[in-house]
């Protein structure tokens, strides 16, 4: 301890000596504290931590699977803590605007996602295909962030209302940055996803332990992102043929999708050491429906239009006794039934229903109003066009190659031979009367009035909504059963004596 003399001659020297000694002591103290703090920090941040990313895509209003995904998230939270549940788009139904609840329009999908505990969503075609004011109204009530760093309003170039570029989410002590990118609509301005990522990733990287891109783009774009943008750990994408191959690593970035039709929940388990990802494993979890009770209870006050009036979503129209399962014919059985119904309703000679219009998997049991919309979600009406036989033959030929060109027929039987050259594989078409289809004759054909394939044709006799025709048929029959008959027959089977 210093004794300070106030002798005028010594005062200045002693004061400077004291300051030097105190400065050295203080510096040593702070050095020791800093060293101890550094050792503690290294010890803490070198510890191994774990993060689980759960993700879905293409749920298309499968509310039961959404609840199942939420239940799995809760199970992981109880044992591990750090978990996020993300959705990569196309999660809404194709008829989201038809639902009514209370005094105004709301989105049941947004309600289910909130109840399941989803942490973020990037919109896909189904979401961005809605009128922008309806999309904005739905997302205003979302309990989770809706992300789209490259999505902008066409009039101003600003972000869509209720959409933000990214979110920083803390879970179980792990800071996760989630950046949304989507290429899903022609009605809005979509910026370059690579440029958007190059701008936002460095911003997020400064704040996040893990950086995830939630992407509604194809696998090629996701791969380009992984190569072109530094700092991404994981890209969670939408449906791709590569989904079944598990986690794919491109330039050190893990890329993963969860299959199609909401069948799977993707799971990615990350290990972090020192605040950085050191390993990743992934799997697809089959989403078995947990039972209808939870979904039915949540939908009890919702209605859908049927035959001109709103009916409860869960109201029972009839029963299914089988034949519409995935292994029993599924879409084909329902497609044939719909083609029969529109041909009979219009009195046409032939009926055609686009394969892309039908979602026919229907489990045995009650058929509810919601099932009616799931089977045929489009608001198309019956109409009649006049087509020559040669045009019908060309349409059936094109359908042998592409699902989006395939039609379920009624009133005709089609014989094909895949061993013949393209353009000549339809070897016979017979009408219901047994007579062959004449290529130079014009026939009346029942079609879906608003279907893309017939937009350039002059239509006649517009009739009922096809969905209402199906619902009325179910009510009249009481119980229906699917059947796949010989409307399409392979020539090879005939040669082998197999019908």
Structural contact between residues 473 and 339, judged by C-beta atoms closer than 8 angstroms: no
What's the predicted TM-score (pTM) here? 0.81
pLDDT given at position 459: 85
Lookup: tokens for 189: 């301005």
Which residue in this structure is represented by tokens 């027959």?
489
Cα 31 off chain centre by: 55
Residue 370 vs residues 40, 185, 302: alpha-carbon distances, Å:
58, 26, 10
pLDDT given at position 42: 47
Show the beta-strand stretches assigned E in 143-183: 151-152, 166-171, 174-182
Q: Hey, is 144 helix, strand or coil?
A: coil
H helix or E strand, kind and range, residue 386: strand 382-388
pLDDT given at position 184: 67
Cα 220 off chain centre by: 18
pLDDT given at position 5: 33
Q: Which residues contact 365 (CB under 8 A, 6 or more apart)?
A: 319, 320
* pLDDT tens series, the chain, 499 aa: 333 333 343 333 333 443 344 444 554 544 455 555 554 444 444 588 999 999 999 998 889 999 999 999 999 999 888 999 999 999 999 899 899 987 667 899 999 999 999 999 999 988 998 888 899 999 999 999 999 999 988 777 788 888 999 999 999 999 999 999 998 676 778 899 999 999 999 999 999 999 999 999 988 999 999 999 999 999 999 876 655 556 788 999 999 988 887 889 999 999 999 878 999 999 999 987 544 458 888 998 999 999 999 999 999 999 999 998 766 566 899 999 999 999 999 999 999 999 999 987 788 999 999 999 999 988 899 999 999 999 999 999 999 999 889 999 999 999 999 999 999 999 999 999 999 999 999 999 999 988 888 888 888 878 899 999 999 999 999 999 999 888 999 986 544 443 4
Alpha-carbon gap, residue 282 to 284, rounded angstroms: 7
Q: Rounded to the nearest 5°, which phi and psi values hold at 68?
A: -65, -45
pLDDT given at position 363: 86
Alpha-carbon gap, residue 66 to 61, rounded angstroms: 8
Structural contact between residues 63 and 295, judged by C-beta atoms closer than 8 angstroms: yes
Alpha-carbon gap, residue 227 to 441, rounded angstroms: 57
């Amino acid at each position: 301890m210093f004794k300070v003399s106030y002798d005028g001659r010594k005062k200045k020297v002693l004061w400077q000596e004291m300051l030097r000694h105190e400065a050295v002591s203080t510096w040593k103290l702070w050095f020791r504290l800093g060293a101890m703090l550094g050792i503690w920090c290294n010890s803490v941040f070198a510890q191994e931590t774990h993060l689980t990313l759960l993700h879905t895509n293409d749920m298309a209003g499968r509310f039961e699977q959404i609840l199942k995904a939420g239940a799995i998230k809760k199970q992981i939270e109880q044992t591990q803590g750090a978990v996020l549940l993300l959705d990569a788009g196309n999660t809404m139904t194709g008829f989201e605007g038809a639902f009514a609840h209370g005094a105004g329009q709301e989105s049941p999908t947004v309600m289910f996602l909130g109840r399941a505990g989803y942490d973020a969503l990037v919109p896909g075609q189904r979401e961005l295909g809605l009128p922008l004011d309806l999309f904005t109204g739905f997302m205003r009530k979302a309990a989770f962030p809706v992300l789209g760093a490259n999505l902008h309003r066409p009039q101003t170039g600003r972000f869509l209302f209720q959409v933000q570029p990214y979110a920083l989410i803390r879970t179980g002590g792990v800071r996760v940055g989630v950046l949304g990118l989507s290429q899903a609509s022609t009605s809005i301005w979509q910026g370059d996803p690579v440029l958007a990522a190059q701008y936002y990733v460095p911003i997020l990287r400064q704040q996040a332990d893990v950086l995830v891109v939630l992407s509604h783009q194809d696998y090629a774009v996701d791969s380009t992102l992984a190569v072109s943008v530094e700092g991404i750990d994981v890209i969670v994408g939408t449906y791709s043929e590569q989904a079944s191959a598990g986690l794919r690593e491109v330039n050190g970035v893990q890329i993963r999708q969860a299959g199609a039709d909401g069948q799977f929940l993707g799971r990615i388990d990350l290990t972090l050491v020192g605040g950085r990802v050191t390993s990743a494993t992934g799997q697809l979890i089959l989403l078995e429906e947990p039972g209808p009770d939870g979904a039915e209870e949540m939908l009890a006050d919702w209605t859908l239009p049927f035959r001109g009036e709103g009916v409860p979503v869960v109201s029972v129209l009839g029963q299914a006794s089988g034949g519409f399962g995935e292994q029993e014919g599924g879409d084909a059985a329902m497609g044939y039934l719909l083609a029969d119904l529109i041909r009979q309703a219009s009195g046409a000679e032939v009926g055609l229903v686009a394969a892309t219009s039908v979602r026919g998997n229907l489990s045995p049991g009650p058929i509810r109003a919601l099932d009616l919309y799931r089977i045929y979600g489009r608001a198309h009406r019956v109409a009649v066009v006049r087509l020559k036989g040669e045009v019908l033959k060309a349409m059936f030929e094109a359908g042998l190659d592409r699902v989006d060109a395939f039609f379920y027929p009624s009133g005709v039987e089609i014989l094909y031979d895949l061993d013949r050259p393209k353009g000549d594989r339809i070897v016979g078409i017979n009408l219901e009367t047994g007579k062959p289809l004449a290529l130079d004759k014009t026939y009346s054909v029942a079609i879906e009035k608003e279907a893309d394939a017939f937009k350039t044709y002059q239509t006649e006799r517009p009739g009922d909504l096809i969905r209402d025709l199906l619902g009325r048929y179910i009510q009249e029959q009481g119980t229906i059963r699917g059947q796949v008959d010989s409307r399409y027959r392979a020539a090879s089977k005939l040669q082998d004596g197999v019908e």
